Amino acid sequence: MSIEVTELDAATDREEWNRYVDRGKRTNPFYRTEALALQAEDTDTTLHLLAGFKGQEPIGLFPVSYTH
């Protein structure tokens, strides 16, 4: 089975992303959308929330930010 990577919208999918973060064993509050958005704002970068799924099961979260 392959892994599908989906981009979640930081504005509309905040609760979904935070649920995945809360379920993770090795996450911390800095992975939550509120913290990631503040970090992106402070560093003047663009935030992309990527999630990897194996079927319906989330198996990885990849917050990516970049500068223009």
- Answer yes or no: is pLDDT of 59 > 80: yes
- Answer yes or no: is pLDDT of 47 > 90: yes
The span from the CA of 31 to the CA of 33, in Å, is: 6
- Answer yes or no: is pLDDT of 45 > 80: yes
pLDDT band at 44 (very low <50, low <70, confident <90, very high): very high
The span from the CA of 51 to the CA of 32, in Å, is: 13
pLDDT band at 11 (very low <50, low <70, confident <90, very high): confident
What would the mean pLDDT of 18-47 be, rounded to a whole number? 94
